[in-house]
A and B are shown apart, each in its own frame.
Chain A
Amino acid sequence: MEPAAVVFAILFLVVVVTIFMGVRLVPQGFEFVVQRLGKYHSTLKPGLNFIIPYVDIVAYRLTTKDIPLEIGAQEAITKDNAVIVANAIAFIKIVDPVKAVYGISNYEYAIQNLVMTSLRAIIGEMELDLALSSRDIIKARLKDIISDDVTDWGILVKSVEIQDIKPSESMQKAMEQQATAERLKRAMILEAEGKKEAMIREAEGKLEAAKKEAEAQMMLAEASAKAIEDIAVAVGDKELPALFLLGDRYVNAIQKLSTSPNTKNFVLPADILGAVKGIAGRSV
């Protein structure tokens, strides 16, 4: 091969490399940050771009599409000291590639942490029940808090969606225990009330029975009085027949006594008449 051909072949290689370095094809959805001799020079927009070879270099390639950022699950403590676990997803967009690369060293990490800490702060200001039921409020507050911080980073936080918000495991257990205890309490109260009522009813029954009993005794007494009165009226002055009847019954009773199986000895009163008189309470 002739020497001139070698020189031209090398020249050709240099031209190829130079053109390759100069032409930059930026795909839609990306923007390239170009540095000239170490300093920021320009931002390449999507399409075909030409930069000065050797002087300019593409220092950063950034996507300008929305970036979904996973915000991992984390524990947060509410105002009433309950522990809840929340995780979220944030959608961010680079609106100023220059600020995004020169304003912060790792914007994804920064925003993830910013959202995490803000989320904790917001939940810390809320009561447990409110925190569990108001995602929208949390979302709006979160966006509000973050916006000031991200201004310097050329990043826009489009939205932060709370994916999951639930009490922590120990909290869930405690809540379950509370519910169980409440049910148990109710059951015990119900049982005690039942017993109380039963006892009252029983006592009432007894009282009623006693009343009736007393009434019956009174009626019996009245009836006896009436009977005695009647007898007294019937007897009047004719004492003898009554005395005879009484004496007859007395003798009968003694007779029964004597035939009773547990009688060992029996002493008959000698003065039956006197005994009967004593019973009748009169002197004949």
Chain B
Amino acid sequence: MNIVWWHWLTLGLILIGLELIIPSFTIIWFGLGAVIVSIVLASLPSCPLSVQILIWTVASALLTFAWFRFFNTRLDRTKAGSSKGAVIGETGLVIRGAQQYDKGTVKFHLPLMGADEWPCVADDPLAVGDRVRVVDVEGHVMKVEKIAKGDK
């Protein structure tokens, strides 16, 4: 069987189409690789099969690598449903102060994870009325840090 350029193009389009059905973000690079091979084959019809497969392999690997290296910009994503993402960075008000190694209580504007009041710990002593920011969640305790006055 003699493989010509449009065979590669068809294979490439099928693989790109498969990406829609199986969203794994890997098949598309092999599809694009096949499209590149079809372009090479159209301009160089005498290219042997082994070289064609090699081009496909290298092109696919390069495209995958390039995506992760250069184009995979981490866009701002929603943090809904993530483990701590929705809570870290929230600011609240200390309503019960605490010394170090003691638990205080912090109150939030809106309920966070099912409650608007949480026990909290901090590295520095907390006084009633301090504004704090959540830095970590440890079980049922919020780890917070004080926000300096004027700091937003």
A284–B21 Cα gap in the complex (Å)?
A: 155
Interface residue A76 (Cβ < 8 Å from any Cβ of B): no
Q: Indicate if the CB atoms of B24 and A20 lie closer than 8 Å.
A: yes
A47–B24 Cα gap in the complex (Å)?
A: 11
Q: Chain A residues near B72 (CB, 8 Å)?
A: 48
Most chain B C-beta atoms within 10 Å of own C-beta, residue among A15, A20, A25, A155 = A15
Q: Indicate if the CB atoms of A15 and B49 lie closer than 8 Å.
A: no
Interface residue B43 (Cβ < 8 Å from any Cβ of A): no
Contact for A151 among B53, B54, B114, B139, CB less than 8 A: B139
Q: Chain A residues near B60 (CB, 8 Å)?
A: 15-16, 19
* Nearest CB of chain A from residue B55's CB, rounded to whole Å: 9
Q: Indicate if the CB atoms of A2 and B49 lie closer than 8 Å.
A: yes
A88-96, A124-132, A190-198, A272-280: which one contacts chain B?
Answer: A88-96
* Contact pattern, A 14-48, Cβ under 8 Å of B = 1, otherwise 0: 01100110110100110100000000000001111
Q: Indicate if the CB atoms of B53 and A12 lie closer than 8 Å.
A: yes
- B33-59 residues at the A interface, CB under 8 angstroms: 48-51, 53-54, 56-57
Q: Indicate if the CB atoms of A23 and B80 lie closer than 8 Å.
A: no
* Contact pattern, B 71-96, Cβ under 8 Å of A = 1, otherwise 0: 01010011011111101000000000
Interface residue B101 (Cβ < 8 Å from any Cβ of A): no
Q: Indicate if the CB atoms of A16 and B24 lie closer than 8 Å.
A: no
Q: Indicate if the CB atoms of A97 and B83 lie closer than 8 Å.
A: yes
Q: Chain B residues near A28 (CB, 8 Å)?
A: 77-78, 80-82
* Chain B residue with the shortest CB-CB distance to A151: B139
- CB within 8 Å for A11 and B54 given contacts A5-B49, A19-B61, A23-B24: yes
* Nearest CB of chain B from residue A103's CB, rounded to whole Å: 10
Q: Interface of chain A, helix or strand or loop or mixed?
A: mixed
A87–B94 Cα gap in the complex (Å)?
A: 35
A11–B60 Cα gap in the complex (Å)?
A: 12
A5–B57 Cα gap in the complex (Å)?
A: 12
- CB within 8 Å for A8 and B26 given contacts A31-B82, A50-B68, A151-B139: no
Interface residue B8 (Cβ < 8 Å from any Cβ of A): no
- A48-66 residues at the B interface, CB under 8 angstroms: 48, 50, 64-65
A8–B138 Cα gap in the complex (Å)?
A: 52
24 inter-chain pairs at a CB distance below 8 angstroms, sorted by A residue, are: A2-B48, A2-B50, A5-B48, A5-B53, A9-B53, A11-B54, A12-B57, A15-B61, A20-B24, A20-B26, A23-B25, A23-B64, A28-B81, A31-B82, A45-B82, A46-B77, A48-B25, A64-B82, A96-B83, A96-B84, A96-B138, A147-B141, A148-B140, A151-B139
5 closest A-B pairs (Cβ-Cβ)?
Answer: A151-B139, A147-B140, A4-B50, A158-B114, A29-B81
Q: Which residues of B contact A (CB under 8 A)?
A: 23-26, 29-30, 48-51, 53-54, 56-57, 60-61, 64, 68, 72, 74, 77-78, 80-85, 87, 113-115, 119, 137-141
Known: A2-B49, A157-B140. 19 other contacts (CB 8 A): A1-B49, A4-B50, A19-B26, A19-B64, A20-B24, A25-B24, A28-B78, A28-B81, A48-B72, A64-B81, A64-B82, A95-B84, A95-B139, A96-B83, A147-B139, A151-B139, A153-B139, A154-B139, A156-B137
